[in-house]
Structure 1
Amino acid sequence: MSSKVQLYVYDLSNGLAKQLSMPLTGKQIDGVWHTSVVVFGKETFYGQGICITPPGQSHHGRPLQIVDMGETAIDEETFEEYLSEMRQHYTAEKYHLLDFNCNSFTNDCVGFLTGQSIPAWIKDLPSDFLSTPFGAALRPTIDAMFRRPVPGAAPTPGTLQPPPEAAAAAAAASPNPALAASLLQAVANQAFSPSPSTSTPSPSIPTASQATATIASPIHICTNPATLQSLLRTHRIAVVYFTSATCGPCRMIAPAFEDLAHEKTHRYSGKIAFVKVDLGVGLGSQVAGQYGVRVTPTFLFFLDGQKQHEIKGVNAPELRSQTDMLLYQAYPPHPHTRISLPAVESLSMKPILFTQVPALDTVLSKLGSFLDASSSSDAQSTKQTLTSIVLPYLKSQFPSKDATNVPKKLKASPVLLNSWSEATRKAAATLPPAQLFPLVDMWRLAFLDEAVGTWCAGLSTTHPHTINPVQLFLRKANDILDLTDPDVKAAARNYLLTVLRMIANAYATPALARVLLSPSGERDALTRALVGALLHGDAAVRTAAASVAFNVAASLQQRRVDQVRGADGAGASMGAEEDGEWDVELVSAMLEALGNEAQSEEVVHRLTAAIAFMLRLSPVYDTQLAPLLEVLQARDTLKAKLVAGGCGEQGVQKKDIRKLVEEVAERLCP
């Protein structure tokens, strides 16, 4: 008789991960998952040992989601015997937040019961998380939390807190330390909170009040053939380590295997599995027997489910070499990494910023005159906020060169920014866009302060009802670009120009740059404004638009370069967040704007650099961009800028710009 097997899924962050992950990490992470297996009317999970409670009665409360894992033909007595063996392996002192945890255990149990594995979005979460700069910075903090004060001692609920210096370092590595601290504290509280008194422990098994929980591990523990087969199906590459508790050489090679697993799963998220099989645990000997493994340590290397190589004994250099060889086979380097592009490589990927400081009193006076002329009842309160709160902050950040007494630099506190945001809402509801440019110019300067950019990046998740100035001003800019009346558009020229310069400055903050590039952030509105502004009739507007285009492409290029370097030269994880259709839209707009530009060498320079960044290392170059470049005759468009009449009377004259244009045309355009 078969029995139903279910996976109970809990979110340790209580929803904070879903809200805060994008501004913290640049990736959308919907939860910090804890899982347990429910079968035979019991909920079984791993924390300080293997714990059993009635379903839904653990200290985690009700599950966020229940996943049907199918049915098992194994009887309850056999499963209890399996747990008895596993109890020697899944002990309290072995528990680690990242390396050996609840999801390691549930994946093993599900494999034993059904031959399946837990969902990849749970199993591979640590690789996604640790592949972010914030995740990598957080790793030492997590290790410190699980450092036992006494060798062999188990962690104690309520004491697993990061050392102050480690927590501070991790928070500082985040683009938003306050959000980072909130998320860390929420996970810690949920993971280590005491169990409700209604929990019923299984005889001789630790109570649920002792349990901890966490995200999945970079090293997969396998105790049965079904689990290994499932891992081979769900990962292109697998490195399987056969070991035993009594093997001395295994203890010698284990640190090298663990280091390699952390390094490669960090860089090749969800694509490579490092698997540990202990021959003395569960059905580990059966797993070994399937592949003729008789001695430990033995390493087997799989590509697309097929065994490729085998190593016996302690040989750390060969272990790394064979792993790298499989990665190269599965994910060969981008072809552009083998092309010499000196002009492109010499380009700085730092954003173009507009740092000129106007006379701030004059700017506020101009805006105040517009507000005074309006009939709004909010005009005076808006002016008061700008005069008493915003202006002092800006003057402290950008003191006048002629000032005799330099004011103490003020911080962009949430209170200040929220007040400014509300004043912005009122002004935008009162004044037409053509009269808002002084206010936009004040925000332009503010975005040179990373604290302002970080605050703005987190608005949609932390304060969804607070006006986001980027969102507000972009929407109005797009409304202007959609107008057909040339006189009205001309009147709003200053507004559009200032908005573009503000957006360029937004790229001074990495967290906000990620939001601007994210499909779930402001990317669509930004792309729409950028495409329209690149073809604007005013040269200054086109220059500002070309600067934004450069910043967009440079930000994307920086991410790709970091991924290539982090993946030992291969673009293994590049495609996860790429959008080929968006690339095509942006490159098409840049080429059209470049073809039309006959006045400014600076615009040609910035657009050519942006095109180079969009093309180089693009994972969709061969499939989408190269055909587009041929259809649009991109090479001819670029070379036309170098001849008489292409840009000015004699074509582009500056040597460095000519060299860049020629290089992109000849080496990046088919």
Structure 2
Amino acid sequence: MSKVQLYVYDLSNGLAKQLSRQLTGRQIDGIWHTSVVVFGKEVFYGQGILITAPGQSHHGRPLQVVDMGETAIDEETFDEYLNEISSHYTADKYHLLDFNCNSFTNDCVGFLTGGSIPSWIKDLPSDFLSTPFGAALRPTIDAMFRRPFPGAAPTPPPAPNAAALQQAASASPNPALASALLQAVASQAQSTGSLSAPTSLPRAPVPGSSTVAAPIHICTNSSSLHGLLQSHRAAVVYFTSATCGPCKMIEPVFEELAHQKTHGVDGARLAFVKVDMAMGSGGQAGAEWGVRVTPTFLFFLEGKKQHELKGVNAPELRTQVDLLLYQAFPPHPHTKLSLPAVEALSMNPILFQQIPPLDTVSAKLVASIDAASSSADLQTAKQAIVSAVLPYLKSRFQEKSAEAKKPAIPATPQLLTSFTTATKSLVNALPPVQLFPLVDMWRLAVVDDSIVANWLATTTNPDALQALLDKALEALDSSDPAQKSSGRNYILTVLRLLANGFAHPTLSRGLLSRAPPAGKRPQVTRIVVSTLLHEDAAVRTAAASLTFNVAAALQKSRVEKLRGPTAGAVPVAVEEDEEWEAELASAVLEALSNEVQSEEVVHRLVAALAFLLRLSPSYEGQLGPLLEVLQARDTLKSKLEKGGCGENGVQKPEVRKLVEEVATKLCP
């Protein structure tokens, strides 16, 4: 008997815990590297399988030691197992996300104890890839760790494409930080061949057998296979062997399907698994399921075997994979509907780009500052507006004069820090009625410059956007009618600023994220719900526009999940929340019921409702019954009748068609 331990290292040395939320919008506590300690030695995988004295690898001291129990297997049997699987765990097959040190330790722990490594380690790649930053970075990582064809000599990873790295960085809430980190990662990977290139006490190198194509899981024993079946809703398990000629014919089809079918589906619950019957305890894993010949494919749903396919039959393999996916992830009922009016709607955001006289805007703000106080903070804010922010905006928006137009002033961190600090000071000192020129400056800067948008999305100390939203909510929640009325211009400009935020993926995600401190979904929702019923028509129009942008971003996220993101586009990835979506749908229907003046507002609200409903995961559970209770169909159809919107109801043919389609096909 020997004790089995899992040594856990953080390859980021604490950086993931500190920076992950800024980079991905999600807390990731470490980039985990693991090794197995048993029989007085530490065994791990990187440049092949390596062995060292416990705690003496180049990774230093483990961050955590996890007790995995005891093994009844003797050391000689374990050494034989390592020799058998060494032809799989070769340096050329290492992949940061799909086939790494944790894949190896999970196999070893399964062989030794029948268990598996903790899910917070196994699930790290899928957690990372589920973020927009991870999804955008995936092609670059694949290129960095591309595996050679069978028989080819191992080669160092190619230099990552600079444009690809920049595009991946743009998907992060903090592109500048992400770009710097990615360049460092790329340089390390280029020089070492992997992010955790081991150097201590290597075993004799073994040539690679066959290419392992991501995202295929490799299993060498029954325990690992059972763990995968338990953690994935659907699985296709391919039993093969290195000496099987027919396997070499069908394997490229299996690899192609693995690449194709894990995108646009719930990848965290779908697995393509490869078991080599001649490797490790692969033969025992096959025997457990009655596999006697290779190639054999088994199809599992919820851990239960559904079908078995033997031999080389590519068309049948494709058919059975599609059938399994259909059973595991049935298509949304809306995919069967003909919705030409809804599908004709653009998912691009509605933006407010009008340019006011900038000198007049600045003069109004300066006059309010001078009338308020001569405090040092306000005078510093005034200086920042006059000497930094105004010249920046004028360089980007003023019309060309007879002279050659000067180059636009860049939004440097120094300029944005001054703008943010000034905003905080002014919001604390001035009432809403005097602050709308300040918000208008942000509105223009955001719509024109992604650097400004990214700043607002990621800079939280101080948080200019949070300060502006809190002031808007203060005005909206006031019980004083005079204060509510005087804050009209401020509320209107905040709505337009928020609408413009959807021009940029990073800020869009921040506005729709619940994660503090950067996530602003609760505040944005409160502002939307409060202003859709505002007495002022311009405010209602801006609120309807913002609501449309929110719903369009949600719809774009759903479409990407079905079809995959558009080539070259940054993924949207909005988190679904049925309570939140029901609240928005209810607010939209109430606003529609009350809107009898503006056909433009009706158009935007109906389009927003269409996007909230179409492809919603909670449509059959909560949204559908809610629509029925709220008599959504009748509310929509009333807009087409006399007095429903204007004297004779909605008049524009395209709007009438949209209202009828949403009422009859998306409302129960």
- Do Structure 1 and Structure 2 share a fold, with TM-score over 0.5? yes
- Give deviations 1:523-557, integer Å, cap 9, x for gaps: 01111111111122211111111111000000000
1:230 aligns with 2:224: no
- Aligned residue for 2:415, secondary structure, equals helix
Does residue 511 (structure 1) correspond to residue 506 (structure 2)? The answer is: yes
Match of 1:256 in 2: 253
Alignment equivalent of 1:581, drawn from 579, 582, 590: 579
SS class of match (1:447): helix
Task: For 1:23-38, list aligned pairs within 5 A.
Answer: 29-38=28-37
Are the aligned partners of 2:342 and 2:658 in contact in 1 as well (CA < 8 Å)? yes
Name the CA shift for 1:106/1:148 in 2 (closer, same or farther; >3 Å): closer
**Contact (CA 8 Å) 1:363, 1:438: kept in 2 or not?**
yes
Residue pair 1:447, 1:505 contacting (<8 A) in 2 also: yes
Which residue in 2 is equivalent to 1:241? 238
Whether the aligned pair in 1 keeps the contact of 2:50 and 2:203 (CA below 8 Å) is no
Deviations 1:252-271 (A, max 9, x none): 33333223223333433211
Provide the C-alpha distance between the structure 2 equivalents of 1:580 and 1:391, rounded to a whole number of angstroms: 43
Counterpart of 2:85 in structure 1 is 86
1:148-547 correspondence runs (5 A): 153=153, 163=159, 166-175=161-170, 177-185=175-183, 187=185, 204=203, 218-267=215-264, 268-375=266-373, 376-400=375-399, 404-448=403-447, 449-459=449-459, 464-465=460-461, 467-520=462-515, 521-547=519-545
Counterparts of 1:17 and 1:265, CA distance in 2: 26
Letter of the structure 1 residue corresponding to residue 286 of structure 2:
A
Distance 1:47 1:480 in 2: 58
SS of 2:307's partner is: strand
More displaced, 227-236 or 332-341? 227-236
Counterpart residue number, 1:213? none
What secondary structure sits across from 2:9 in the alignment?
A: strand
Q: Contact (CA 8 Å) 2:36, 2:109: kept in 1 or not?
A: yes
145-154 or 434-443, larger mean C-alpha shift: 145-154
Letter in 1 for 2:549: N
Q: Which residue of 2 aligns with 1:60?
A: 59
Q: 1:13·1:186 contact (CA, 8 Å) conserved in 2?
A: no
Deviation, 1:391, is 1.7
Number of the residue aligned with 2:208: none
Q: Distance in 2 between matches of 1:620 and 1:18?
A: 33
Q: Which range is displaced more, 68-77 or 228-237?
A: 68-77
Using the alignment, how far apart are the partners of 2:202 and 2:538 within structure 1?
77
Change in Cα spacing, 1:275 to 1:413, as seen in structure 2 (3 Å) is same
Give the AA of the match of 2:654.
D
The answer to whether the 8 Å contact 1:141/1:163 transfers is no
Following the alignment from structure 2 to structure 1, what is the Cα–Cα distance between the partners of residues 202 and 27?
A: 41
Following the alignment from structure 2 to structure 1, what is the Cα–Cα distance between the partners of residues 565 and 372? 58
Counterpart amino acid of residue 159 in structure 2: P
Structure 1: gaps (5+ residues)? 207-215
- For 2:559 and 2:473, the matched residues in 1 are separated by 32
CA contact (8 A) 2:25 2:131 kept: yes
Structure 2 counterpart of 1:249, which letter? Answer: P
8 A Cα contact 2:613 2:619, kept in partner = yes
* Percent identity for Structure 1 against Structure 2: 67
Match of 1:555?
Answer: 553
Contact 2:214 2:259 in 1 (8 A): no
**8 Å CA contact retained: 1:134, 1:170:** no
Deviation per CA, 1:82-133: give whole Å up to 9, x if none. Answer: 2232233322233232342112111211221232333444334434544566
- Give the Å deviation of 1:660: 1.4
Task: Answer with 114-123 or 611-620: which moved more.
Answer: 114-123
Residue 549 of structure 1 aligns to which amino acid in structure 2? T
1:494 is matched by which residue type in structure 2? N
- In the alignment, the residues of structure 2 paired with residue 575 and residue 327 of structure 1 have an alpha-carbon distance, to the nearest angstrom, of 21
CA contact (8 A) 1:560 1:574 kept: no
Deviation at 1:345, TM superposition (A): 1.1
Instruction: Check conservation: 2:238, 2:273, Cα contact below 8 A.
Output: yes
Call closer, same or farther: CA 1:607–1:265 in 2, change over 3 Å. Answer: same
1:288, distance to aligned residue in structure 2 (A): 1.8
Instruction: Note the C-alpha offset of 1:222.
Output: 0.9
Report the Cα distance in structure 2 between the residues aligned to 1:663 and 1:240, rounded to whole angstroms: 44
- So what's the TM-score if we normalise by structure 1? 0.88
Residues 481, 532 of structure 1: 8 Å contact kept? yes
Change (3 A) 1:393 1:259: farther
Shift of 1:566: 3.0
Q: Distance in 1 between matches of 2:132 and 2:574?
A: 16
Are the aligned partners of 2:241 and 2:247 in contact in 1 as well (CA < 8 Å)?
A: yes
Residues 396 and 410 in structure 1, CA contact (< 8 A), matched pair in contact too? yes
Residue number in structure 1 paired with 2:591? 593
Matched residue type, 2:394: K
**Structure 2 letter corresponding to 1:284:** G
SS in 1 for 2:639: helix
Paired residues of 1:117 and 1:231 also in contact (CA < 8 A): no
User: Using the alignment, how far apart are the partners of 1:63 and 1:182 within structure 2?
Assistant: 27
8 Å CA contact 1:12–1:187 kept in 2: the answer is no
**Cα displacement (A) at 1:401:** 5.5
CA root-mean-square deviation: 3.1
359-368 or 95-104, which moves further after superposition? 95-104
Letter in 1 for 2:635: T
- Using the alignment, how far apart are the partners of 1:344 and 1:170 within structure 2? 35
Contact 2:365 2:435 in 1 (8 A): yes
1:617 aligns with 2:615: yes
Mapped contact 1:123–1:217 kept (Cα < 8 A): no
Q: Distance in 2 between matches of 1:610 and 1:30?
A: 37
Give a deviation string over 1:162-181, Cα, whole Å, max 9, x none. Answer: 515x1432222432543333
Alignment length (residue pairs): 643
Deviation at 1:308, TM superposition (A): 2.2
| 8 Å contact kept, 2:148–2:154 | no
**Superposition map of 1:7-46 within 5 A:** 7-17=6-16, 29-46=28-45
Note the residue ranges of structure 2 that are not aligned, 5 or more in a row.
206-212
Give me the whole-angstrom Cα distance separating, in 2, the residues matched to 1:575 and 1:503. Answer: 18
Moved more, 57-66 or 16-25: 16-25
Q: Distance in 1 between matches of 2:287 and 2:148?
A: 39
User: Are the counterparts in 1 of residues 556 and 572 from structure 2 also a CA contact under 8 Å?
Assistant: no
- Give the letter aligned to residue 107 of structure 1: N
**Separation (CA, whole Å) in 2 of partners of 1:63 and 1:188:** 25
Aligned to 1:604: 602
Partners of 1:377 and 1:96 in 2: how far apart? 56
Residues 114-158 of structure 1 deviation map (CA, whole Å, 9 limit, x = unaligned): 323334443344345445665454344334433589975557xxx
Distance 1:628 1:244, change over 3 A: same
Runs of 4+ in 1 over 6 A off after TM superposition: 148-151, 189-195, 573-576
Give, in whole Å, the separation in 2 of the partners of 1:454 and 1:526: 17
